[in-house]
Amino acid sequence: MRRTIIASTIAVALMPAGGALAQTAAPTPSAVAAVFACRQIAAGAERLACFDKASAALETAAKDREVVVLDRAEVKRTRKSLFGFQLPRIPLFGGGEGKSDKEIEREVEAEDVSEIDAVIKRSTALPYGFYRIVLDEGGTWETTEGWRGAMDPTPGSKINIKRGALGSHMLKVPGGRAIKAKRVN
């Protein structure tokens, strides 16, 4: 009976949250859609006038930060800097006509960051062998288990952080063992 209750509890905990996990393609901002619409105009002078008006509106929207344009490299840097946080899945790539939500999700997962290498900027010992570690690239991590018997994290040391099972993360300094940790900022 006890095994049935444990198995049922695990199954319920691992069930997807229905609509909460469903992805929808982000709508095209109106300032961008206006530029795209100009391409449909056949007459050259009218098309040019449309592009002038739409591009001016897009420029204003960008200056007012209503629209932000990022290239893939910037998106990748941002994802790396946010590694360790539980964020909603936003389809940053793809989303073009003919792509399903599943295709967009696969593209995002293919470029997802699953581990990072960094250098320890600051390391603070906490009670019971726990540590707070600040990385040189930003981000603060705290161990969720004691670091006893492992190489202590010292400033200037390299550190590898990998995504573990069920949303956990593992820190490892060269020559040391992997320690469970969580991102705190």
20 within domain boundaries: no
List all residues 6 or more positions away from 183 whose beta carbon is below 8 Å from its beta carbon. Answer: 83, 84, 85, 139, 140, 141, 169
Task: Read off the pLDDT of each residue in 164-181 and give the average, rounded to a whole number.
Answer: 86
User: Is the pTM above the cut of 0.95?
Assistant: no
Task: Read off the pLDDT of each residue in 124-129 and give the average, rounded to a whole number.
Answer: 89
Do residues 97 and 128 both lie within one domain?
no
Task: Read off the pLDDT of each residue in 165-177 and give the average, rounded to a whole number.
Answer: 85
Do residues 135 and 177 both lie within one domain?
yes
Do residues 138 and 162 both lie within one domain?
yes
User: What's the whole-number average pLDDT of the chain?
Assistant: 75
11 within domain boundaries: no
Distance of CA 48 to the CA centre of its chain: 39
More confident residue, 15 or 138: 138
The Cα 25–Cα 93 span in angstroms is: 10
Number of domains in the chain: 3
55-109 pLDDT, tens digit per residue, is: 999 989 888 888 887 777 777 777 677 776 665 555 554 444 455 656 655 655 5
DSSP type of residue 166: G
Helix (H, G, I), strand (E, B) or coil at 148: coil
Q: The tokens 């960051």 sit on which residue? A: 113
3 within domain boundaries: no
- Write a three-state SS string for 11-69: HHHHCCCHHHCCCCCCCCCHHHHHHHHHCCCCCHHHHHHHHHHHHHHHHHHHHCCCCCC
Do residues 55 and 95 both lie within one domain?
no
pLDDT score for 19: 41
Could you tell me the residue range of the domain that residue 123 belongs to? 115-183
Q: Please check the confidence at residue 5 and state whether its pLDDT lies above 60.
A: no
1 within domain boundaries: no
Task: Read off the pLDDT of each residue in 28-52 and give the average, rounded to a whole number.
Answer: 89
Do residues 78 and 121 both lie within one domain?
no
5 within domain boundaries: no
Q: Strands (DSSP E) along 94-177, which ranges?
A: 115-125, 131-135, 140-143, 158-163, 169-172
Do residues 130 and 145 both lie within one domain?
yes
CATH number, domain with residue 160: 2.40.50
The Cα 94–Cα 25 span in angstroms is: 9
52 within domain boundaries: yes
Dihedral of CA atoms 47, 49, 50, 53 in degrees, nearest 10, equals: 160
15 within domain boundaries: no
